[in-house]
Structure 1
């Protein structure tokens, strides 16, 4: 079985739960959209910081600058980043799988963003062949790493989903601004 299939299977429930949480935000409403972006920004920052200092950067294009620009356009500063323990290589590839995969869902969500609201973050889609190239690099890393490495990658993907869920919960606790 491919590593992609393993990761998809290991995170299916996490993915569905997170989709339900973030699906509650009305992206056409500026205040709700700001909360959505803050929740994403808090979780995305530590993951992208870890990716930037790793070997998991094959054709990687960070999105933190895009979400920061969207928030700034809405008059909102970047929220404080959540913290994570430095992930090992396999966990990091699993985390990157989640954030790269989120670009695919972002295409659908970008259509829900209200007229006149910035959408650089959600609109940042993969270029031609980038998703396939990432998956090939992921599979290559998984093949080289073996079964234990692949299991660790699954743990990293689950940790990324948990990080985004925790950030969404924090945003819900902080309440509307």
Structure 2
């Protein structure tokens, strides 16, 4: 008997190298150093608002709790304005939206771990913006509950890969 992978498992497997590339790119920042931390936040500010705005325009998706305001507040506390967001040019579809949301909300999950590296006294509302109780599991369950045929999963992978690519390019 062959076991079928869940949609989330397929999404995770198909984007593992993209996730690793983003982690490697952002791993070069020392979040305990004010200049590195500022650059880290600026890079995120180039990507996150673009993806969040794109997600908000897709009907049928769950609501995204935006972190743009927290990011802007942290940057302002460090004497920086929000940069112009990069373009996020992906054909909108509900499936691609779920894929991109998987990346954005995964970033929120990773942010909590990274926030431990930010020294006391430095702003950390953005990285400290954790999921509500059960929110991450609910997102994964919602993705797995979608009636996803192979074409749907491929569109979700396209959305996730595009979001990862935007984050990967943002520090440049």
Do the two structures share a fold, i.e. TM-score over 0.5? yes
Contact kept in structure 2, 1:46 and 1:84, CA below 8 Å: yes
Structure 2, gaps ≥5 residues long: none
How far the C-alpha of 1:88 sits from its partner, in A, is 2.1
Alpha-carbon displacement from aligned partner over 1:46-77 (angstroms, at most 9, x marks no partner): 10001112235425211111101110111100
Aligned to 1:82: 86
Aligned to 1:133: 138
How far the C-alpha of 1:153 sits from its partner, in A, is 0.3
CA distance in 1, matches of 2:153, 2:61: 18
CA RMSD in angstroms, aligned pairs only: 1.3
Aligned to 2:37: 33
Aligned to 1:146, which of 149, 152, 165?
149
Kindly tell me the number of residue pairs found equivalent between the two proteins: 167
TM-score by length of 2: 0.92
CA distance in 1, matches of 2:50, 2:156: 17
Aligned to 1:62: 66
TM-score by length of 1: 0.89
CA distance in 1, matches of 2:119, 2:60: 34
Alpha-carbon displacement from aligned partner over 1:15-66 (angstroms, at most 9, x marks no partner): 1111111011010111111100010110111100011122354252111111
CA distance in 1, matches of 2:12, 2:88: 22
